[in-house]
Amino acid sequence: MKRIVILISGRGSNMEALLRAERAGELPGAQIVAVLANTPEAKGLSIAAAAGIATQVVDHRAYSERSAFDAALLAAVQAHAPDLVVLAGFMRILPETFVQCFAGRLLNIHPSLLPAFPGLHTHRRALEEGVRIHGCTVHFVTPALDRGPIVIQAAVPVQDDDDEDRLAARVLAEEHRIYPLAVRWFVEGHVLADGNVALRAKKPSQTREAHPAALIVPTP
């Protein structure tokens, strides 16, 4: 079984989508072994606990030095011996040591079509820029923020009467669809990070094939 650790900071709806996928048998060969948060206020913690998943808080406010928090978080994640670490709304920037430690087995979901709108307030910025297509991206994490190899993207058309909340809700629904898919691909060995791109391998050891990044455009 591939061991998955999920890191959250808040609501945890992507984490919940992954738990749902696991329960529905959509993540064969994988087990979500723990959910960690950097704050006890993360609402997702109670959802994970109710689902019988081990939860743990490494509270960043309990450490006066950033490096001490970083070390504690790394140790806490490593203690679960994960094959895959999944960032699901984790709002702390991970240090390079963490990223290197889990290189090639660290995924993030970002609420924009990267490389457009890295960082925060993606939906507001998309509306301000007047883009007609927005969306979300699952990517491998590298030291460059929101710049790792793209595994899958979902496109969400912007509607004329959209506001930030309406657009965010439609993007979130797509996030819940593509994150379990990306995790499944990873667990099955169908996707791996190679430099700037994510590659598809039929079996991990076999010849690599085409770029697997999929753009899913929902039917209106």
Interaction of residue 106 with ligand GRF, rule CB under 6 A: no
Mark the segment that binds ligand GRF (CB under 6 A) among 7-15, 20-28, 29-37, 193-201.
Answer: 7-15
Listed in sequence order, the DSSP H helices in the chain are 13-23, 44-50, 66-78, 96-101, 122-129, 164-187
Q: Is 38 in the site for ligand GRF (CB under 6 A)?
A: no
Select from 30, 85, 99, 109 the one that contacts ligand GRF (CB under 6 A): 109
Question: Is residue 13 a contact residue for ligand GRF (CB under 6 A)?
Answer: yes
- Which H or E run includes 153? strand 150-157
- 3-class DSSP state for residue 12? coil
Torsion sign (Cα): 36, 81, 31, 86: positive
Q: Which of residues 135-194 bind ligand GRF (CB under 6 A)?
A: 136, 172, 175
Residues involved in catalysis: 110
The one segment of 74-82, 107-115, 156-164, 198-206 that binds ligand GRF by CB under 6 A = 107-115
Transcribe 21-66 into DSSP letters: HHHTT-STTEEEEEEEESSTT-THHHHHHHTT-EEEE--GGG-SSH
Pick the binder of ligand GRF from 6, 10, 58, 152 (CB under 6 A): 10
Q: In 30-39, which positions are buried (b, 16+ CB within 10 angstroms) versus exposed (e)? A: bebbbbbbbb
Contact call for residue 21 and ligand GRF (CB under 6 A): no
Angle (nearest 5°) at CA 185 between 108 and 200: 100
The least distance separating ligand GRF from the CB of residue 8, rounded to whole angstroms, comes to: 6
* 88 touches ligand GRF (CB under 6 A): yes
The site for ligand GRF (CB under 6 A) is made up of: 8, 10-14, 44, 88-89, 109-111, 136, 172, 175
